[in-house]
Amino acid sequence: MACWISNAICQVRPAKLRTVNSDEYGAQGTEAEFEAGSRGRVLRNLLGIRSTREMARRESEALLAATQQLIDDTDVDQRFVADDICRMPRTWLSG
């Protein structure tokens, strides 16, 4: 699925609510591993977080910080282009 924004295209993939072990994703190696001590609930991560609550808290904090940064970087009369829209999740997920 794709959306057209200002004569450019931005790929949009619908969210899938499936387990990480699903063959549909084809996850292998470290992408399919869980953090030791997380009882198979938290994917392996660079911070070594094992608690689902801690991971949710960190993700929420990162989303709030990214939202504030995007608000600060956006002008009142700014016209959004595909690159602007595609940059938003990267800002959040790059931390």
| pLDDT per position as a tens digit, 31-60 | 779 999 999 999 999 999 999 999 999 999
Please name the residues in contact with 11: beta carbons below 8 A apart, sequence gap of 6 or more: 1, 2, 86
Confidence class for position 77, pLDDT limits 50, 70, 90: very high
Confidence class for position 68, pLDDT limits 50, 70, 90: very high
pLDDT value, residue 25: 60
Bridge partners, 43 (sequence order): 34
Res. 91: pLDDT tops 50: yes
Res. 8: pLDDT tops 60: no
d(CA 59, CA 74): 22
Res. 18: pLDDT tops 60: no
